């Protein structure tokens, strides 16, 4: 197949810097302890001041909140706790007035069990909505095992006595999977998309999208099946009809507007990922792969810098000529960026946060910056199960207990990896509840808020926040950071991640130290003469053509011709 050179072609969505907002935790305008849309409206100028060009806001549709909004009961209504449609209209206008694009989270692998479709579907085997979901009649015996991420037993089939049948839920029991093989379901989804595009949204983040198509005969897993990432995706998603459905969605919706769509999850190979976004496929625009945030084998066997470089470089290489990727180090499903990839000790939190932000904003691909990472917010590290709010943590705990697992180890892991780490409230100032709310927040505030907060960082020229702003401006004003090619330099250096970005005659070099000590980096011949475009320290020590980087130093250099 001839490959088109789509990766270097200019597209508006490649040029975005996306800021991800978890609305529940961003700003509470009405004092109920829960963030809301009016809260986002109050902070529009702050968001603009960051230099980001687009936002992705996690789901704010009507929802009983079994999974914080990822269980939707009405796709055309706003969640009561977050406000109403007037607030939405005002919010999106506020973004657009500031030239900020708006990306909507579209959760259509599943709905809430409280969605009208499911209520109908569950009511009778003969109901018109029965085939909107996957049902397995009990007289056929127990269905073959399918894995569920949030189920207490890890079982995706739930027995429902009312019609003596099981329904499928890859996530919680309150998140039944939609049956995408039913054309009526697909039509409903396209209608929902039209509805929101007409309200002004500029893009869709397609939640759990690799799972929409599955083998609906639900055969037994082959011998040797393992409950690992590759096998789970292969045998639960990326099904035979996936591309037909996406092409239909492209034809019916995406191609009709100036919108883009990014797929959360990309299958289990580069081939899968390319099949979703290469331009000649006419499907989606951007992939959001997880390998970058899954690097390493857990707390006992963490990743090395070599692993980190390798993951990002291999994705970059694969998408060099064709397709386009997202760049991110955190989101609402993983730990805080600085705790996971930097060093969140008092001594190095600031330097390493700036270093990681430099990575996000100088790599090739569209950066997704998670709210709070522009301040260097870190993990809260809950110790007791009663502190957790996330269904994945609560049900994961029950599952581990029932399986007789080593609970001390389980709790250690949870404390580090729990999604609640990245869901603690935004730290606005040093007043009570970090200025997030006048009432007790729905989830605990990280106690470092007295030092780590927006107000304190606004007034400090070399704060993480102001460094972030310098970097967004650098990226926006220098196409070399967007379209320039990427090449690793001194690839085997165990302490420094270095890469060049090259566009036409422009050559830039990024040096990122990942260690607590000084490190030496030999500047290549073509970079002996340079200008400093970005630096997270006040100086750069150079001796004999070698840079002596400080702990977690991050510099961006442009070649002087």
Question: Would you say 171 or 308 has its CB closer to ligand GLC?
Answer: 171
Question: Would you say 328 or 449 has its CB closer to ligand GLC?
Answer: 328
Number of amino acids touching ligand GLC (CB under 6 A): 9
Task: List C-alpha distances in Å: 393 to 100, 113, 413.
Answer: 34, 20, 11
Q: How far apart are CA 559 and CA 530, in angstroms?
A: 4
Q: Which of residues 513-542 bind ligand GLC (CB under 6 A)?
A: none
Q: Which of residues 206-225 bind ligand GLC (CB under 6 A)?
A: 207-208
Q: Nearest distance from residue 188's CB to ligand GLC, in Å?
A: 18
Q: Nearest distance from residue 68's CB to ligand GLC, in Å?
A: 7
Q: How far apart are CA 121 and CA 132, in angstroms?
A: 7
Question: Would you say 380 or 393 has its CB closer to ligand GLC?
Answer: 393
Q: Nearest distance from residue 490's CB to ligand GLC, in Å?
A: 36
Q: Which of 28, 36, 207, 420 is catalytic?
A: 207
- Tell me if 114 contacts ligand GLC by CB under 6 A: no
Question: Would you say 202 or 264 has its CB closer to ligand GLC?
Answer: 264
- Tell me if 370 contacts ligand GLC by CB under 6 A: no
* Binding track, positions 458-497, relative to ligand GLC; x by CB under 6 A: ----------------------------------------
Q: Which of 264, 278, 316, 374 is catalytic?
A: 264
The three-state DSSP-derived secondary structure of 310-343 is HHHHHHHHHCCCCCCEEECCCCCCCCCHHHHHCC
Q: Nearest distance from residue 215's CB to ligand GLC, in Å?
A: 20
Q: Which of residues 220-279 bind ligand GLC (CB under 6 A)?
A: 264
Q: Going by DSSP bridges, is the β-strand pair 326-327/366-370 parallel, antiparallel, or unpaired? A: parallel
The question of whether 207 is a catalytic residue gets the answer: yes
Coil vs helix vs strand at 468: helix
Q: Could you tell me if residue 154 is left (phi over 0), alpha (psi between -120 and 50 degrees) or otherwise beta?
A: left
Q: Nearest distance from residue 461's CB to ligand GLC, in Å?
A: 35
Question: Would you say 369 or 452 has its CB closer to ligand GLC?
Answer: 369
Binding residue (CB under 6 A) for ligand GLC from 13, 56, 60, 70: 70
Binding residue (CB under 6 A) for ligand GLC from 15, 291, 333, 439: 333
Return all residues near 346 (Cβ < 8 A) that are at least 6 apart: none
Question: Would you say 265 or 484 has its CB closer to ligand GLC?
Answer: 265
Q: What residues does 203 pair with on adjacent strands?
A: 103, 260
- Tell me if 171 contacts ligand GLC by CB under 6 A: yes
Percent helix, strand and coil across the chain, each to the nearest 5: 35, 20, 45
Q: Could you tell me if residue 452 is left (phi over 0), alpha (psi between -120 and 50 degrees) or otherwise beta?
A: beta
Question: Would you say 55 or 511 has its CB closer to ligand GLC?
Answer: 55
Q: Which of 558, 549, 560 is nearest to 355 (CA)?
A: 549
Nearest residue to ligand GLC on Cβ basis = 70
> What tokens does 408 get?
């001390």
Binding residue (CB under 6 A) for ligand GLC from 44, 55, 79, 107: 107
Distance of CA 394 to the CA centre of its chain: 21
- Tell me if 151 contacts ligand GLC by CB under 6 A: no
55 close to 205: Cβ distance less than 8 angstroms: no
The residue with tokens 């260097």 is 376
Q: How far apart are CA 331 and CA 298, in angstroms?
A: 18
Question: Would you say 34 or 208 has its CB closer to ligand GLC?
Answer: 208
Question: Would you say 393 or 510 has its CB closer to ligand GLC?
Answer: 393
Q: Nearest distance from residue 78's CB to ligand GLC, in Å?
A: 18
Q: Nearest distance from residue 391's CB to ligand GLC, in Å?
A: 8
Question: Would you say 24 or 234 has its CB closer to ligand GLC?
Answer: 24
Q: How far apart are CA 446 and CA 465, in angstroms?
A: 18
Total residues belonging to the chain: 561
Q: Nearest distance from residue 498's CB to ligand GLC, in Å?
A: 32
Question: Would you say 67 or 278 has its CB closer to ligand GLC?
Answer: 67
Coil vs helix vs strand at 502: strand
Task: List C-alpha distances in Å: 64 to 67, 112, 174, 187, 251.
Answer: 8, 8, 9, 24, 33
* Host H or E run for residue 121: helix 116-123
Q: Which of 125, 352, 147 is nearest to 230 (CA)?
A: 147
In 10 A of CB 447, how many CB atoms? Answer: 11
Q: Nearest distance from residue 395's CB to ligand GLC, in Å?
A: 12
Query: What stretches of 92-149 adopt beta strand conformation (E)?
Result: 101-106, 135-137
- Tell me if 67 contacts ligand GLC by CB under 6 A: yes
For the chain, the distance separating the N- and C-terminal CA atoms, rounded to the nearest angstrom, is 40
List of long-range contacts for 122-130, beta carbons under 8 Å, 24+ apart: 122/160, 122/162, 122/163, 122/167, 123/162, 123/163, 124/163, 125/163, 125/165
Q: Nearest distance from residue 69's CB to ligand GLC, in Å?
A: 9
The question of whether 321 is a catalytic residue gets the answer: no
Q: Nearest distance from residue 213's CB to ligand GLC, in Å?
A: 16
433 close to 445: Cβ distance less than 8 angstroms: yes
Catalytic positions, please?
Answer: 207, 264
Contact positions vs ligand GLC (CB under 6 A): 67, 70, 107, 171, 207-208, 264, 332-333
């Amino acid at each position: 197949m001839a490959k088109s050179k789509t990766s270097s072609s200019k597209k508006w969505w490649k040029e975005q810097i996306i800021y991800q907002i978890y609305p529940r935790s961003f700003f509470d305008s009405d004092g109920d302890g829960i963030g809301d849309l009016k809260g986002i409206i109050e902070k529009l100028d702050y968001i603009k001041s960051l230099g980001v060009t687009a936002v992705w806001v996690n789901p704010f549709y009507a929802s009983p909140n079994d999974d914080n909004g990822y269980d939707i009961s009405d796709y055309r209504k706003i969640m009561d706790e977050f406000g109403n449609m007037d607030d939405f209209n005002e919010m999106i206008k506020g973004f657009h007035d500031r030239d900020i694009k708006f990306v909507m989270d579209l959760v259509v692998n599943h709905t809430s069990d409280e969605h009208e479709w499911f209520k109908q579907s569950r009511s009778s085997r003969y109901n018109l909505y029965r085939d909107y979901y996957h049902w397995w009649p009990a007289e056929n015996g127990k269905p073959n095992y399918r894995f569920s991420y949030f189920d207490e037993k890890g079982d995706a089939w739930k027995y429902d006595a009312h019609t003596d049948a099981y329904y499928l839920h890859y996530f919680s029991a309150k998140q039944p999977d939609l049956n995408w093989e039913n054309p009526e379901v697909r039509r409903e989804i396209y209608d929902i998309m039209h509805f929101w595009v007409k309200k002004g949204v500029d893009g869709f983040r397609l939640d759990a999208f690799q799972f929409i198509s599955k083998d609906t005969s639900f055969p037994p897993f082959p011998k040797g099946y393992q409950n690992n990432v590759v096998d789970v995706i292969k045998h639960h998603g990326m099904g035979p009809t996936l591309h037909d459905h996406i092409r239909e969605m492209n034809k019916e919706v995406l191609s009709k507007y100036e919108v883009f769509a990014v797929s959360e999850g990309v299958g289990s190979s580069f081939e899968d990922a390319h099949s979703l976004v290469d331009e000649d496929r006419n499907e989606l625009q951007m992939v959001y792969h997880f390998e970058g945030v899954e690097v390493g084998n857990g707390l006992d066997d963490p990743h090395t810098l070599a692993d980190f470089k390798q993951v990002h470089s291999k994705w970059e290489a694969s998408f060099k000529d064709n397709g386009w990727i997202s760049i991110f180090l955190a989101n609402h499903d993983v730990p805080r960026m600085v705790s996971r990839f930097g060093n969140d000790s008092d001594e190095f939190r600031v330097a390493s946060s700036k270093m990681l932000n430099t990575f996000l904003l100088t790599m090739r691909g569209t950066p997704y910056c998670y709210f709070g990472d522009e301040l260097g917010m870190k993990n809260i590290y809950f110790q007791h199960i009663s502190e957790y709010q996330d269904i994945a943590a609560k049900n994961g705990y029950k599952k581990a207990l029932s399986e007789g697992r080593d609970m001390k180890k389980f709790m250690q892991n949870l404390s580090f990896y729990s999604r609640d780490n990245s869901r603690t409230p935004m730290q606005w100032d040093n007043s009570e509840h970090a200025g997030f709310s006048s009432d007790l927040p729905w989830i605990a505030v990280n106690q470092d808020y007295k030092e780590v907060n927006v107000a304190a960082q606004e007034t400090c020229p070399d704060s993480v926040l102001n460094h972030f702003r310098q970097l967004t401006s650098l990226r926006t004003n220098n196409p070399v950071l967007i379209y320039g090619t990427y090449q690793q330099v001194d690839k085997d250096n165990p302490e420094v991640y270095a890469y060049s970005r090259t566009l036409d005659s422009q050559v830039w070099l990024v040096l990122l130290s990942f260690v607590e000590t000084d490190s030496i980096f030999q500047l290549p011949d073509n970079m002996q003469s340079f200008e400093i475009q970005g630096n997270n320290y006040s100086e750069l020590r150079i001796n004999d053509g070698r840079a002596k980087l400080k702990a977690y130093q991050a510099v961006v250099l442009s070649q002087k011709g």
